[in-house]
Each structure stands twice: as C-alpha cells, then as structure tokens.
Structure 1
C-alpha cells in the first residue's frame, strides 16, 4: 500500500539531508516529483513541521533578509506560496508553508522545487529549530484534487538536529549527602539554546563549603556535616553546582527532584517515549518523571504503549516513573488538568476523542465538563491511586469554577508556558487545599531540563522537589499526596519550611499561634525570602546588602506579567531605556530566558532590548556614573514610564501596566550580593474563623524563584 501511495502522491528529496546544528542558519533544496494523480488547478502542497518547532517563519518577499524562500516548477502551472502558522492540523502546524497551484495543473513527473533559506540574494539562510532532535522531519502533504484534503507523501525527508558548541557548564549534585558516603556529581555542557553536550576533557571539582571532601573522578565523599557547593571546571568553562546539605546520618526526609509534565511525539512533542525518559534520567538527572500526552490525541494503542514504556523505565531506588495523561478540555469546560496514576493499567478518561474518532466512545470517555470528569474518575479509579494537577497550557485550568475537594490536588505554578502564581492565589481564594508543583510542560523532548527556545514557550521549565522517605514509587507518591513538595523555576534551591510545627502541605487545627520558620539556600545569591498568608505578604527578609541603597549607582529595572490567562498571554516589552544626564557605564541583562531576547544595543545614554514575558520577569541592571541626576525613561512596546533619579530612594518604585499582574519595578540595587542563605522567623495569629493558608517564596538575584506548598491552619 505504501508503494501505491508513493506512486500516486509523488516522492520528495532534500539536499543536503545531513545533521545540522540547532539554531544555526541553513539552506535546503526540497524537491517534490509529482505522482500519478498529478495536482489539479486549485490543489495544494504543504511543507509542515511539528507544533513544537521554532524554526524561523518562512518569507517570500525579501531576498536579503533571513528565512527567504523560493518556489519554482517546470510544470504548466503557477505557484503561490505563503507561510501559514495553522496551515495544517495538529500536530503538523505552527510552522507550515502552503503552496497553491493555479492557472494550470501539474502533470505526473513534474517537479516543484522549494529552496528554504535561499542565500543567493544575501540572506543568511533560515534559522533551524533551537532544540536537538534525532529525526527531524519536513513532512510534505499533497492535495491533488482541489478537495482541501491533503495527505502525507510516503517517506518525507528526515535528518538529525544536534547540539552546538557548549557555552556553559551545568553541574548537578544530590541536594543531600551523608558523611562518609560517596555521591556522584554530573557535569555536562550546554549550548546557547540549552541543549546538552558531553564534556570532552577531564572534570575538576572543588568544594566550597563547610568541612573537607574527598574527590575521586566525579564522585565526592564528605568528611563532616555542613553545606556548600561544588565548583566544576572542564573544557575551559566553570560553574557552580546546586547547594548540597551534608548530615551526619541519613535524614528522615530526602529531597528528590522531578518533572511530572511534558510530552513526546505521541502527541505534540518531539522524540519517542524512550528518548523522552532517557533524557529525563540521563541528561536532566531528575529522580522522578511522568508523561502527559493530550488525551484527545491518545488512542488505546498509544495508552497501552505508554504504560509499557513507564513500566520498563521505572526502577525503585534509581528512577521513579508514573503513568499519566493530560485531560485537555477547553477552559470554559474546566481547562487543562494533569492526571497522575500510581501504577500502570488504569483507564484513560478523555475529555473528547477529537483527533481519535476511530476510538469508540463508551462509559469511560469522553467525560466533560470537568465536574463530569471528576465524578467519572472517582468512580473508576480509587482515590489513593490518582493525583489531579491544575495547570496553564494552551488552555488554563479554571479552579474557581471546577475543583474536586476530595481528590489529591496540586497546582502548577511554573512551566515553559510561563509563571502562574495567580493560579495558586485563585485556589487559596476559594479555600481549596492544594500543593505546589513546577514542571516544564516541555514539547521539545527535554523533560527536566527544558529551555525556552524561540517559539511559543516563553521560559525555561520548572522542577518539583518532594520530601520523601525514600526514592520509590510509594515514597514519592506519598509525598505528593501529602503535598510535602515545593516547586522552582528550574534551580535546585533548598527550601525548608515549618509552620505551626508542621511541614509544607500539612493541615493544622486548634492552634493558639502560628510560628513560622523558613530557610533557603540558593543556587545563586539571594534577594528575598518571603512568607504569605493567602495573597498577603506577611513578612520578608533580605540580605544585609539591601539595607542602605540610597546612594547606590546601580539601578535595576524588572518587568513582568501576562496580558491575560489564555493563549494570548505573552507581553512584548521590547524597547529602550534612556537617561537624560547620567552616563551608562555598564548594562547587564537579568533573567532573560531565551537567546532570542536580551540587550540588542548599548549607547552612553540608551540601552535597547528585546523582551517578552508570560508571567515571568525580565530585567536590565544599569551602572551609572551618577545615579542621582537627570531622568530615567523606560520606553517599551507595553508602555512608557519616566522617573526622576533623584527621587529614587531606598524603596522600589512599582508601576502598574494592566493586564494580568503586568508591572515595572525600578529600584536601586546593591553593588554586590553574596548571601546564599537566608532564614526567616515570625509569629502570626490564627484566623478567628475558617482556615488560613501560609506559604513561603524565595527569590534569587538572578530571577530564579521557589514556592513551598502551603500549610493550612485553623484556630
């Protein structure tokens, strides 16, 4: 049958068809030889890539500009190409070139030649997607009959996309260690887009912390209790590890890191499920993971295969894997929910069969809206075998309208889609009892270490840390069900919280006072440690360097927020920062996620930048020759603010930009911050009625953050 369709629709060649570096500029020649059907006037040819692809959009008008493409044929017809982001159906959408045939038809044997990244007119070529892929495909579709039904040709061209040269090192150490027991330290390189590379030369490790260590290759033994971090050096690069807490004996609760939410090519991601879990285990070095394919794309065969893959990769004591899926309803019907199962063999309760109409509907699925889904899930799956996570993806979970208080519930505060602290506040406003998780929702095949790239996903992925008794499916599951977990924007920050004598996630009753103790050890210098009671900032501590800033010539501008809760949430902040009298001696980008964004030009009194946020923050720190003269103007696509530098004192100035928590913060900043550890102690009175939710938030100077699961207290 494949041979018949090859003859009918035609064949495709690609030159060159060889490995290319992620994010590089290339030129390809793709040639379609028309099949026996021919292509009628009004017919269509499409070249599409998977939804996650962030290759530059093709353009056909400017031969000297990036991504210039041309289309020609030797047949008796004309061709009209266009770039159409939704030119085909999911998952072959977002990047799609549509070529319409008009003023004639194409006969069998005619050729259509498409040059992607045509360089003869001065274009540098077209930028490849920014992430690695073992078999990247230009999938070609043909509609030969003017029926608006395009079918894939057999054997579309595939080629590998590989990592570029390493520009940084990443050193991952266990967050905890015991005196006398050797632990393995993992060091890798990363290119400018966050793709991992193996370290070519020997790795040198040096301990910066309390006590002595013994280093043997990439294994380290600690001689005394304390804390610190490792300096790693290799291939001319250096970096620090995450902090390590060393104890005399094994602690009651162990910290394990994971990414519970991402996708493979089973739905809209890239790479096989085997590649997915291999990356999480071997490159991201997470301790636990799950897979979350969109339910309306997962048929019964897919679900069985995923369960088998989970079973094959799961190893208690080494790498814990949970089966699961994403219940992907539209937001008015409840929005995206993660479904995590304790074990294999449980049913998939879909919200719809939209892209799998061949799967018969039955008493299990479809189930929507969310209240129907919750009831169906409760009937089919024991409560202790399922956890429901609410998250923001293409669709946002409406926890105010739909919530199952009898289920084990988590909310996803961070993913590659953005930072969604507002969802935690939504849940707390309603009195819901939830835990905090942060994951990637990555579609690029890099669970546990997902970068933002240059496409739909705005930031790097987050991580979830559990405090578990052991690294086993039962141990990690118990911690998640108990909400004894916290999430970060990706940094392996150490966060300790005790509120009313209980650990994060607990429900505490009958207390006379609420004693709050929190401690954070950062991966980088810290800006603040905060405790919230619901939406109210109850207390905050900062390093001593922040105490007297009135005379600092270092000024930091940070902007953040989203336009809205839905898909159009991204804010374009691109613009210029200007001074009228002060000279800019130095300008440093802070917390920009993508290599596509950042400072684009610097002049003595102006800094141009490109920036987009989706709930996260970006910023620029200026060093001025005199930080108290003249005016400072922030001229952005999102709005303009101007201040008198003489009026900028110790306290930050905050400017509301509308949208969803869109704001600009301008403040004087310390010349140098060295504090890697902060502690906070305070006391609050329990509520007279009802329940109060207390959680802790940590902020690093580089913009990385962590949130604890709340402790729920009543008097």
Structure 2
C-alpha cells in the first residue's frame, strides 16, 4: 500500500484524541487474492475504541476513483453488490451508499449508528457482497492491483469529520486466464541491433495473465533465417522476452504459435536498415500516490517488462503531489532510466482549470528541477505556495529557463490552447488517450497559428502504461502510444525528436508511418519553430515529418509510406483541416457483403463528454451471418445478434468510435438504425466506399455505415500526391491512417511557411 507520506489525499486536521487506535480497530477476514471480475464476499470487523460511537456517528469505507467493480447498494439483499452491516449489541447500523466521496477516495459507503450508541469493545460486522439473501456477491474490478484497499475512516463523536485509521486493509486483485495473445516487437531498427520480442497473454479485460501454459513457439519470416524459438514460460510470469541480433537489412515479421502450429498472434512489421530508428513510448499516466493505483515503481516496471515500451514518464496531477512524492518521482525516474534499453523522464501534469489553461504535461530532460504547480488544492504544506503558476502564461514564464517541453492534454480539464502559447515550450498536442480521441486539438492549433506535433498516450490510471485498457467505468478508449523517430534510445535523442516534432501518435497500434515532402526548388528547413527566433537547419529539397520548411513554391509532392500489422483501410492526406486525398487499397468493385457500423463522437469537449448509446440495427431482407466487434473494449456491454436480421447494442464513446462489422448473406433491402441519439434508414444498395453519416449533434456524434470488401489483405502502402500550398500563412501537411482492426494513427504535420 502507498505510504501516507507520499499519498496525495487530504483528511480532517481535527480529531477527538491523539491516536486513531483510540477510535477503532478494523480487520479483514482473509486476504487471499481475488481474480478480476470475480464475485466475492468480503467480511470486515470494526471494533469500537475508547471514545465509543455516539448516536448518528459512525464510519466510512472508501474505494479509489479508479475502481470499476460493482456499484455497492444496500436496498436489495437478493441483488448483486449488496452491502450489509450489523452491530454486536443490536444497535441499528444504517448503510448509506454515497454517490461521491472525495479525491482519490471517490466511492464511499457511510455507516451510521442509529437509535443508540456503541461502547468501547462493541463490534460492527460489515459484509461487502453479502450472499445471505441469495445475491451473487460483490463484483471485483477489471484490473489487477497489488493492494486493492478499502480505506476506513471514523467519526466517533458525530461531528461529520471522518478520521482515517492507521490500520489499512487490502487484498491483491490478480488476472484471469489468457484469452488473447500479443507479440510486441520494434518497428524500425538499425542493422546489427539486438531485437527484443515480447510475448504477453491477456485476460478478457486486457490484464497480462500469469496463468500461461505451453507449449508456445515464436516463428519469424524475413531475409535472415531465424530458427523457431520454443518458449519456456516461467510459471507465474506475466510476460516473456526473446532477444536476437539482426544483421541483414529487410522487413521481418514475428508470429506466436501454439502446440498445434496454429497462429495465436502476429507482431507489427519490423524494418531493419541503416536509416532512422523508431521508439515507442507512453509518456502519460498516474500511479496510486495520486489518482491511479499501485506504486510508481510498479508503474515503470509494467511499462518496461510487460508493455515493452521503449520510453515512459509519470504524470501525476500537480495539486496532489506532495514534496516528498516529487522527490520520489525524481528518484524513481533516475533509477529506471537505462539508456539504450528503457528511457524515463521526470515530470508532472500541470492541472489548472480549463478557463486559465487546462491540463498540460510537463517533461524535464533531467531530474532535480522544481515543480511549478497550478495550485495547492490538495496540499496541506503551504510553504511553496508562492511558486505556483495559476494560469498558463504564468507557467510559461516560470519555465522559460528550464530544459523542458509541454504537451497539451484533454482529461478532466481540457487544455485551453488559446489561453497562452510559447512555441519554445509547448511542442505537441495529445490527440488520443484513455479519455477518448480529440482530433479537434490539432485543428484548433492550426486556427491559432501554432506549429505543434501530434502525440498519443494513455493517461492510464489503472497501472498499465503502454497497454492501458479502459475497463468498465469512466474511460472509453484503449490508451494511445507515440512513436519517436530518433538516432538512439536516450534522453537527448528523444528530446531532440520531441522538439523537432519528429513523431506520430496511434490509438495503441504499432504501425510504421513515414511522411515526407519534396519541393521543386530548395527550401529552408527548420527543426525549431522560427517564431522562437531559431535559424534554419539548412537548405534542402525535402522535408521530414514535423519539420518546418520555408518555400516559395506553389506545389509540393507528399510521399507517404505505411506498414501495419492489420490491413489498411484508408490513408487521408490533409492540408490544414481539409482532406485533399484519400487512398485505399480497394475500389468499389472490390466491395462485398460486409458492413461497418460505428458509433462516433462525444457530448462536448469537457469532463462530461461521455456519450452512452443504446440501439438496434435491423435489416429488412438479408440475414446476418457473422459479426465482429470493433473497439468494443467492455465485453459486458451488450452486442447481441437477436434474430436473422437484428442486432441490439449498448456502447460508449468519448470522442473515439466503436461498433461492429456485419456479414450479410445478400445485399438487398434496407438497414434501419434506431438509437437514443439518432435514427435513420438507408437502402443497402446506396452504401459504398464512403461512409454514410447519421448526424447525432453534440461533438461529432454520429452513426456511420459503409461497405467493405469481405476480405482485406494489404498491410503496406506507398503513395505520392501533389498538393497545392497556400498563398499566405502556413500549410500544415499531415496524414491520418485507419486500419481494419479499428486503430488510427496521425502524423505530426510538416509546416510549409511563406
């Protein structure tokens, strides 16, 4: 459990006596590990201390904000998640399941002494998931946790102030059996590099399972012969890694096979050459010291050894970071930084309200730098209050001499890009995280004249940086990843890539993306924004991803290369916010009887953006002969084939999209979509390559429908296109890639300036 010295929570500063042991003691019957999403009955006993408990006094049991287990209730003994309490003396204990506690102990149950009092030594017996009335128990959360804590605080004198007990009770939550497999390998490395290939078996909710059984074999294809590798899985391990040098240039692919030779999973294509390398990172997430789970050490260990990312950073909300935890963040990033293998950065999330700037991620190149908070909202120690930067302009001023960069983020407090901008510091906007997809961030940046790159991260709160699944609560998307194109895996090279915007983001896939521009006449090339006073790097007829080119030309050629682990659906080429070309690996003549039906969008940009969809799709004539979920991250949300031509569903979107592919026996008649947001009917004969949209208002809320080929196989595309450059101002040129498995990637723009 997290030490109180590091924990970013705040409790009353007044209490009846000197020690919490005077108020009560609490014990938990048993501490055996519980499997994720299992049904449990947890029994707690609270023994009243020397002050007794007065009438209307009592205690609270609180769970963390991240908890996505069953919603506790006290009104129906026969229903799931029933919680009960009784006293040893017969005095009534009323149970109040409160809708909101306080950060980070967001989910609380209050136990109130009613119609009497409890004397020292009396006991209260609490059963979470009480099965005595026929209920199945308490539904556990969807994610693993080394110490699932139930924090107990008491109010013996009926003052309304609840003081936490020093005794803390917790149980481990462990993964289920593997139901799917992942092969995780680099995507671009130099000749002679030692290549690490990670293997993970995930349970139904995306947790790395420790219940793997063999035999398993890793097979590769490519220009160099690598014999199949039999995997001797260590019992209880949650991952396995195989390392092998590759000395022959070319493209390699890795596949995991079971004992029968059947393919369980395939990795992304790996390009071995003497060109630029790529490194995958999740630079945004939190641990249990603030509003996440598990310790910061467990956080970085997961990123390195289970998610197999190359780089990672920690981003706690600044107003929860005690000075002791800021020291701990710096100590931990220094300890985990292992250049050439795993790079870490110290940093934090500056978490001001949106009106004065909104969330921004701050990354330092080195440890030992001061934290400049947005406020002391949850920090009792006020001695550094005068160092706070309460708005974005003040933050830029405070960091002006620091060796750091900032990314704009959309979380609980969406970044306000218009509040202030410093091109020396804010180098990127985050388009995707567990919170959803926010492509509007890059469009807003263009309108404001900001020259920024694109990143994607998880902002994971569930202890899984680099492999962050949303679970069953407030998050709606799989966490994203950023691919940095750099010379080496070290802090200097990655910081250089960040400041050059030489990176792209994805919704979690590890596809390879290259975007370059060729000019008819030499252009001045800038690595840093010339708005900062930077000089050009040189003169060249070519610009790479993220670079800024000053050109007098009217036209330029854009060269795009994509290599993915899933077939490519489309490649959209943009100038600023306008799509100027879309490339696909198929034409209308290739379309089959497969339809893709998606829910898209959000309510609005702020904290309550989540859109809940309920609806049905009905086909008048054809029968549904197959159905495949797309981005259906919560397996408990209904997606039901209810008859020959009907599908019923419930879904959630937070700016991203989810849905399903349906295979029909024939393409005749109509399709009727009826949801709580929008309704419409279309002739199946009218569906083609381009999606048809049923507009649902809000922030790009919509149902989209399109036909696809029955089978797609193209995983590599190389295309070129001539684009016209704007006469005045900047021409940002960038690419969005969509793949069959539901993933999206965005390149950082190349900015052509006049």
* Cα displacement (A) at 1:494: 0.5
* Cα displacement (A) at 1:647: 3.2
Residue range with higher mean Cα deviation, 179-188 or 441-450:
179-188
Match of 1:371 in 2: 393
Instruction: Establish whether residue 536 from structure 1 lines up as the match of residue 586 from structure 2.
Output: no
Q: Secondary structure at the match of 2:589?
A: coil
Cα distance in 1 between the residues matched to 2:370 and 2:86: 50
Instruction: Establish whether residue 345 from structure 1 lines up as the match of residue 386 from structure 2.
Output: no
Cα deviation digits, residues 561-596 of structure 1 (max 9, x gap): 110111110111122211233222222211212233
When residues 69 and 238 of structure 1 are mapped into structure 2, their CA distance, relative to the original with a 3 A threshold, is farther
Cα distance in 2 between the residues matched to 1:29 and 1:619: 40
* Cα displacement (A) at 1:7: 3.2
Match of 2:255 in 1: 231
Instruction: Establish whether residue 321 from structure 1 lines up as the match of residue 326 from structure 2.
Output: no
Instruction: Establish whether residue 240 from structure 1 lines up as the match of residue 265 from structure 2.
Output: yes
Q: Secondary structure at the match of 1:303?
A: helix
Cα deviation digits, residues 604-646 of structure 1 (max 9, x gap): 12112221011111112222222222x3222223232222324
Instruction: Establish whether residue 96 from structure 1 lines up as the match of residue 136 from structure 2.
Output: no
When residues 331 and 221 of structure 1 are mapped into structure 2, their CA distance, relative to the original with a 3 A threshold, is same
Cα distance in 1 between the residues matched to 2:546 and 2:638: 37
Match of 1:661 in 2: 700
Match of 1:157 in 2: 169
- For normalisation by structure 2, the TM-score amounts to 0.89
Cα deviation digits, residues 47-87 of structure 1 (max 9, x gap): 11111111111012233332122222234643322322312
Query: Which residue of 527, 533, 540 corresponds with 2:569?
Result: 527
- For normalisation by structure 1, the TM-score amounts to 0.94
Query: Which residue of 308, 326, 346 corresponds with 2:331?
Result: 308
Match of 1:478 in 2: 496
- Contact 1:63–1:118 (Cα < 8 Å) also in 2: yes
Cα distance in 1 between the residues matched to 2:689 and 2:392: 48
When residues 223 and 323 of structure 1 are mapped into structure 2, their CA distance, relative to the original with a 3 A threshold, is closer
- Contact 1:413–1:437 (Cα < 8 Å) also in 2: yes
Match of 1:503 in 2: 544
* Cα displacement (A) at 1:280: 0.8
* Cα displacement (A) at 1:4: 6.3
When residues 678 and 357 of structure 1 are mapped into structure 2, their CA distance, relative to the original with a 3 A threshold, is same
Match of 2:28 in 1: 14
- Contact 1:214–1:220 (Cα < 8 Å) also in 2: no
Q: Secondary structure at the match of 1:450?
A: coil
Q: Secondary structure at the match of 2:608?
A: helix
Match of 1:186 in 2: 198
Cα distance in 2 between the residues matched to 1:316 and 1:30: 47
* Cα displacement (A) at 1:658: 0.8
- Contact 2:255–2:267 (Cα < 8 Å) also in 1: no
Cα distance in 1 between the residues matched to 2:245 and 2:370: 45
Match of 1:129 in 2: 141
* Cα displacement (A) at 1:474: 0.6
1:270-419, aligned counterparts within 5 Å?
Answer: 270-364=293-387, 366-378=388-400, 381-382=401-402, 385-419=403-437
Query: Which residue of 69, 78, 90 corresponds with 2:92?
Result: 78
Cα distance in 1 between the residues matched to 2:455 and 2:311: 13
Residue range with higher mean Cα deviation, 593-602 or 569-578:
593-602
Cα deviation digits, residues 10-39 of structure 1 (max 9, x gap): 111222321011121111112211222222
* Cα displacement (A) at 1:668: 1.4
* Cα displacement (A) at 1:445: 1.0
Match of 2:539 in 1: none
Cα distance in 2 between the residues matched to 1:527 and 1:565: 27
Cα distance in 1 between the residues matched to 2:16 and 2:140: 30
* Cα displacement (A) at 1:549: 5.5
- Contact 2:588–2:688 (Cα < 8 Å) also in 1: no
Q: Secondary structure at the match of 1:662?
A: strand
Instruction: Establish whether residue 548 from structure 1 lines up as the match of residue 589 from structure 2.
Output: yes
Cα distance in 1 between the residues matched to 2:187 and 2:684: 42
- Contact 2:319–2:376 (Cα < 8 Å) also in 1: yes
Cα deviation digits, residues 431-475 of structure 1 (max 9, x gap): 101111111101111111111111121111111110011111111
Q: Secondary structure at the match of 1:346?
A: coil
- Contact 1:212–1:224 (Cα < 8 Å) also in 2: no
Unaligned residue ranges in structure 1 (runs of 5+): none
* Cα displacement (A) at 1:597: 2.7
State the Cα RMSD in Å. Answer: 2.1
Cα deviation digits, residues 357-387 of structure 1 (max 9, x gap): 21314542x2112112221221xx33xx110
Instruction: Establish whether residue 203 from structure 1 lines up as the match of residue 242 from structure 2.
Output: no
Match of 2:717 in 1: 678
Q: Secondary structure at the match of 2:105?
A: coil
- Contact 1:587–1:607 (Cα < 8 Å) also in 2: no
- Aligned residue pairs: how many? 703
When residues 2 and 207 of structure 1 are mapped into structure 2, their CA distance, relative to the original with a 3 A threshold, is farther
Match of 1:266 in 2: 289
Instruction: Establish whether residue 588 from structure 1 lines up as the match of residue 628 from structure 2.
Output: yes
Cα distance in 1 between the residues matched to 2:689 and 2:509: 29
